[in-house]
Amino acid sequence: MTRPYVPWLLVVVALALAAVYLFPLYWMYVTSFKSGSEIFANPPTFWPREIDLSIYPNVWTRRTMHVFLWNSTLIAAGVTAITVIFGTGCAYVLARYRNVWLDIGLFSVLMLQVLPASVMVTPLFVAFNQFGLLNYPRTAVVLAAAAKAMPFFVVLVRATFMTVPRELEEAALVDGNSRVGAFFSIVLPLARNGILVCAILTFMSSFGEYIYSKSIIQAPALQPASVGLSGFLGPNSTDWNAIMAYSAIYVTPILAVFVLLQRRIVSGLTSGALK
Amino acid sequence: MTAQIELKNIDKHYGAFHALKKVSLSIEKGSFVALVGPSGCGKSTLLRSIAGLETITSGDLHIAGKEMTGVPPRHRDIAMVFQSYALYPHMTVEENLTYSLRLHGVGKAEAKAKAAEVAATTGLSALLSRYPRQLSGGQRQRVAMGRAIIRNPKAFLFDEPLSNLDAALRVQMRKEIRALHDRLGATSVYVTHDQIEAMTMADWVVVMRDGVIEQQGRPLDLYDQPVNRFVAGFIGSPAMNFVDGVISEDGRGVVVGAGDRIPLARQAEPNRKVVAGVRPENLRVAEGAASFHFEVGNVESTGSATYLTSKDGALQLVQTERLGFSVGDRVGLDIDPALVHLFDPQTGARI
């Protein structure tokens, strides 16, 4: 095989993998457009015979989706706020100072990332119960999910801070600023892109948070859309087009944000903040 | 003359590493002082200690008569030009220039006027609304300078500011920095590893090695009277030649090989082992009887000067006239006895 064909082969492989990965998404949209009988047709149709959009408003009102989506937004916003405020400071310190204790700190932050939510949820539930936090279930979920999102955020933002040259801060100090002032007027604006990207990723992932919400929030009026969706699913579910319509309503905004910002997200993750 | 910056017994440890060892230095008001030495000698650490970017382990630091040992950089009223210029990439040239003024509560209009004035003196007037990434190396360098001079500080600190420029620009900026210093009448401390920069720009040169000041003085005094072999080899380009030898029986020369002897202008202790130091530019090709010889190993000509290097690489010679030697020639050399330096082979100290 000659050299120019290798990239083409790789592109084909990449497209095939992407197709496999994105197939469920495609199936979700297509199924939501199908009528009840067509869903169970054998062989399955890959494009609906007639597109029926009436299921969307129908599902929206029947499942009180505005309540679920509002809860999801609230939880995601809370998680993002906590993560950004505390994570940024933490990442800065980890990027600028080096000693044994900070290495241990960084290591434990990474350890947190390894622990799965399904393992953490039981001890967290017991602890929240003792603190009385279960009376404020959304707050409890925000705290739990923020702890889960924090390591990822800290590690990425730390890398962003490391791309900001130390000399800039020193110049600001000599120019008459304090450490805190130099952080806010020099370092933070330069790391802004990286922080923004990580904040968006945090928001998007906590918008789909499920495990903590499912176990901690009992009242349907306080549940996020992820839990609301699972209420739909049962052993005897046949309402597939409604379920898919619900999923589509839930997922589309996140997808839209990602597609709109994907260039910034990719460059923010790879190149750091200095430009 | 009063001391603008006074360092007394400054010690700096980084863990087990002893970066500055009891350094004492007094910098006169209005003088241009160069700290020079090989990398890792502590010159940058010393400068950063003056700026307050490094905390000193022990010792005393006074700036303009005030105790500044533990004072944070922002209260020291000094300006610093960094090697990388450290321009704020998210600010325009004007914002870079006025950053310190804004921090000190200077009004907008006044800061703008001041920036325009500084821009005029540094040749940046047309570039005020540009961002640092849109500037050339030399322009960035000027912004860094402008940012330092705009607030009229008690002292300017330069940390190898020219090392990122190309050779031609470096020579030009050397003159500009010196001219700026003279015009402002400021006190400047300039760190460099390039002894030519130190020699050409400074009134006072401080040579450092391993955290210790080896010698300080006026540039030409360092050149003429180096206190030890290290300073002798560091100051001057091309570097001084060192030849091992023994003082002759009569004490008026250094025997350096079969029949070769370097003459001395004064009486030295006979039969003592020494290292004789002769500068390449002080050696002459002998017309008649030569006092010592070398075999040509390499000839380089720049047009204005000819550089001869001996076959064993130990000796170098610079002549301003064009010499028609070729590799393998045996050349007789002569030197003015007053220009021969003697050093102790063990301690390196001047004899």
ipTM of the complex: 0.84
Query: Of B205, B234, B263, which marks where a domain is finished?
Result: B234
Specify the pLDDT at position A2.
Answer: 56
d(CA A15, CA B211): 61
Q: Take residue B323 and report the two structure tokens written for it.
A: 């010499």
Query: Of B210, B234, B258, which marks where a domain is finished?
Result: B234
Please tell me the total count of domains within chain A. 1
Q: Which residue has the tokens 């017991």?
A: A126
B22-46 residue pLDDT tens: 999 999 999 999 999 998 899 999 9
Closest CA to A207 of A169, A249, A242: A249
User: Which residue of A170, A176, A178 is in closest CB contact with B86?
Assistant: A170
Is the pLDDT assigned to residue A83 strictly greater than 50?
A: yes
Residue A43: cis peptide before it, omega within 30 degrees of 0: yes
pTM of the model: 0.81
Q: Spell out which residues of chain B touch residue A173, defining contact as CB-CB under 8 Å.
A: 52-53, 72-74
A16-62 residue pLDDT tens: 999 999 999 999 999 888 887 788 887 888 888 888 788 888 888 88
Specify the pLDDT at position B34.
Answer: 95
Question: Quick check: is A24 in a domain?
Answer: no
B105 and B126 in one domain? Answer: yes
Query: Are A190 and B79 in contact (CB < 8 Å)?
Result: no
Please report the number of interchain residue pairs, chain A to chain B, with beta-carbon separation below 8 angstroms.
61
Q: What's the helix, strand, coil split of chain B in %, to 5?
A: 30, 35, 40
Q: Which residue of B has its CA nearest to A99?
A: B15
Residue B27 pairs with which residues in a beta bridge?
B5
Query: Of B184, B202, B234, which marks where a domain is finished?
Result: B234
Residue segments in chain B with a per-residue pLDDT below the cut of 50: none
d(CA A68, CA A60): 10
Domain coverage including residue B301 = 241-343
Closest CA to B200 of B223, B231, B175, B230: B175
B173 and B287 in one domain? Answer: no
Question: Quick check: is A159 in a domain?
Answer: yes
B99 and B217 in one domain? Answer: yes
Q: How far is CA A16 from the centre of its chain?
A: 25
- Chain A residues whose C-beta is within 8 A of a chain B C-beta are 165, 167-168, 170-178, 181, 186, 189-190, 274-275
Question: Quick check: is A172 in a domain?
Answer: yes
Question: Quick check: is B318 in a domain?
Answer: yes
B245 and B192 in one domain? Answer: no
Question: Quick check: is B349 in a domain?
Answer: no
Q: Which residue of A has its CA nearest to B156?
A: A174
Q: Are B137 and B169 in contact (CB under 8 A)?
A: yes
B269 and B138 in one domain? Answer: no
d(CA A173, CA A150): 30
Query: Are A174 and B79 in contact (CB < 8 Å)?
Result: yes
User: Which residue of A176, A190, A274 is in closest CB contact with B103?
Assistant: A176
Minimum mean pLDDT range among A98-107, A138-147, B184-193: A98-107
Q: Which residue has the tokens 């000698």?
A: B41
DSSP A159: H
Question: Quick check: is B313 in a domain?
Answer: yes
Question: Quick check: is A240 in a domain?
Answer: no
What is the pLDDT confidence band of residue A4, given thresholds at 50, 70 and 90?
low
B152 and B104 in one domain? Answer: yes
B272 and B228 in one domain? Answer: no
B77 and B98 in one domain? Answer: yes
B285 and B258 in one domain? Answer: yes
Angle between helices A55-62 and A240-271 (to 10 degrees): 90
A116-142 residue pLDDT tens: 888 888 999 999 999 998 889 999 999
Q: Take residue B310 and report the two structure tokens written for it.
A: 């001996």
Q: Are B333 and B294 in contact (CB under 8 A)?
A: yes
Closest CA to B297 of B318, B317, B327, B323: B327
User: Which residue of B83, B90, B99 is in closest CB contact with A175?
Assistant: B99
Specify the pLDDT at position B1.
Answer: 54
Query: Are A274 and B89 in contact (CB < 8 Å)?
Result: yes
Those residues whose C-beta lies under 8 Å from the C-beta of residue B142, and which sit 6 or more positions away, are B122, B123, B124
Question: Quick check: is B351 in a domain?
Answer: no
Q: Spell out which residues of chain B touch residue A178, defining contact as CB-CB under 8 Å.
A: 72, 74
Domain coverage including residue A264 = 67-223+258-271
d(CA A206, CA A77): 8
B207 and B145 in one domain? Answer: yes
Q: Are B151 and B79 in contact (CB under 8 A)?
A: yes
How many alpha carbons lie under 13 Å from residue B248 in its C-beta half-sphere?
17
B282-293 residue pLDDT tens: 988 887 777 888
Specify the pLDDT at position A168.
Answer: 93
Is the pLDDT assigned to residue A271 strictly greater than 60?
A: no
B128 and B69 in one domain? Answer: yes
Query: Are A174 and B72 in contact (CB < 8 Å)?
Result: no
The CATH number of the domain where B76 resides is what?
3.40.50.300
B228 and B307 in one domain? Answer: no
* B201: amino acid identity, one letter: M
Question: Quick check: is A186 in a domain?
Answer: yes
Q: Which residue has the tokens 């597939």?
A: A240
Please tell me the total count of domains within chain B. 2
The CATH number of the domain where A153 resides is what?
1.10.3720.10
Question: Quick check: is B348 in a domain?
Answer: no
User: Which residue of A165, A178, A189 is in closest CB contact with B90?
Assistant: A189
Q: Spell out which residues of chain B touch residue A167, defining contact as CB-CB under 8 Å.
A: 82-84, 86
Q: Which residue of B has its CA nearest to A181?
A: B103
Q: For residues A148 and A2, which has the higher predicted lDDT (pLDDT)?
A: A148
Q: Spell out which residues of chain B touch residue A181, defining contact as CB-CB under 8 Å.
A: 103
CA distance, residue B306 to nearest chain A CA (Å): 42
Q: For residues B237 and A157, which has the higher predicted lDDT (pLDDT)?
A: A157
Q: How many CB atoms lie within 10 A of CB B222?
A: 27
The CATH number of the domain where B311 resides is what?
2.40.50.140
Question: Quick check: is A246 in a domain?
Answer: no
Question: Quick check: is B292 in a domain?
Answer: yes
